[in-house]
Amino acid sequence: MRLAEEAALHWGGRPVALIVERENAVYRMAVPGGGGGGVAALRLHRMGYQTAAAIRSELWFCGALADAGLPVPRPLLAGDQALVTLSNGRFASAVEWLGGAPLGAAGVPLAGSVARQAEQHFALGQMLARVHTATESLTLPDHFARPAWDVDGLTGDAPFWGRFWEHPALTDAEAGVMRDARGFLRTALQDHARTAPLMPVHADVLRENILVDGSDLSLIDFDDCGMGFALYDLGTVLSQNLYEPGVADLRAGLIAGYGSLRGVEARMVDVFTLARTLASVGWTMPRLAADDPIMRSHIARAVMCARAVME
């Protein structure tokens, strides 16, 4: 908590509670006056994950989307800076506190009826379409520097989240599926790239990052945003739904909602679902202990998805 207290002083605030600790440690922070009911989200960025330039670019992106009227958190300045460096070299930033509760949690079945879940996914698809349309109208600043979720960022020799096909926990059979899936995905993405331009995407549209407040949805945690394909955001959503009883309805709702505002190729949504499940296998390697059950569950999910999509 000491670092959080040090960071909060830059915004004249104080940390109240640790909310989540993943790539960032996020605290609920009491701040004097202003919007959000005197509350903001204080973020202590994971050491070595993103550069200062990348975090500033993320904050610029969030601010630009907020200015366009999208339901995303607006960065809060500490003096004239959006990003501060703490005494141990760790970066800190703060953003507006948005109301609502997460749509769900990883590994926990979604609440409510399948019909209700499908309605929420339709609304989510529409929100993502609005985010992507607004993004297309932005002029990126010269200093914009974010990771690449492009063909090489997902399937190259050094993918952003790691060489998933070389995960040490893979059996020989699983490694074979992963290698086949990598080749399949690379070809599909190269074809897609001929007509689908790269753009800044959220790249981590998980249940935990979608807030529900009545009928309103908002999108938080742009820490993984980068230059990628729009439909990767839809694939990320669906990657968490593969074991849901209503997965077909959720997929249909998400695609229908998105398609009501933007063009969408349903088959490519499945391809990007595969892309996310593969990337997530790579994500586990430097972050989880060798005996963490999430290692095996992510591998099993990716193998299942690969076999289904490559049929």
189 vs 146: CA distance, rounded Å: 20
Report whether 250 contacts 123 (CB < 8 A): no
**Which of 38, 71, 98 is the last residue before a domain boundary?**
98
**Which of 98, 113, 143 is the last residue before a domain boundary?**
98
Same domain, 84 and 211: no
Helices (H), the chain: 2-9, 52-67, 114-136, 151-155, 172-192, 231-239, 247-259, 266-284, 293-309
Residue 142 CB-half CA count within 13 A: 0
Same domain, 129 and 269: yes
- Predicted structure pTM score: 0.96
Same domain, 176 and 226: yes
Same domain, 74 and 134: no
The per-residue pLDDT for 66 is 98
Same domain, 127 and 8: no
Query: Domain of 83: which CATH number?
Result: 3.30.200.20
Same domain, 67 and 113: no
**Which of 67, 98, 129 is the last residue before a domain boundary?**
98
Domain that holds residue 22: 2-98
What is the number of structural domains in the chain?
A: 2
Beta bridge partners, 149, equal 228
The amino acid sitting at 159 is P
Each residue's pLDDT tens digit, 188-208? 999 999 999 999 999 999 999
Same domain, 135 and 277: yes
Query: Domain of 210: which CATH number?
Result: 3.90.1200.10
Same domain, 106 and 84: no
CB-based burial, 136-165: b 16+ in 10 Å, e otherwise: eebebeeebbbbebbbebbbeeebbbbebb
219 vs 255: CA distance, rounded Å: 18
For helices 114-136 and 247-259, give the axis angle rounded to 10 degrees. 30
pLDDT tens for the 311 residues of the chain, in order: 799 999 999 999 999 999 999 889 999 999 987 556 799 999 999 999 999 999 999 999 999 999 999 999 999 999 999 999 999 999 999 999 999 999 999 999 999 999 999 999 999 999 999 999 999 999 999 999 999 999 999 999 999 999 999 999 999 999 999 999 999 999 999 999 999 999 999 999 999 999 999 999 999 999 999 999 999 999 999 999 999 999 999 999 999 999 999 999 999 999 999 999 999 999 999 999 989 999 999 999 999 999 999 98
Same domain, 111 and 45: no
Same domain, 127 and 58: no
Same domain, 91 and 152: no
Same domain, 80 and 226: no
Element holding 18 (H helix, E strand): strand 14-21
In eight-state DSSP terms, residue 86 is -
Distances (CA, A) of 180 to 15, 92, 159, 170, 292: 47, 41, 16, 14, 25
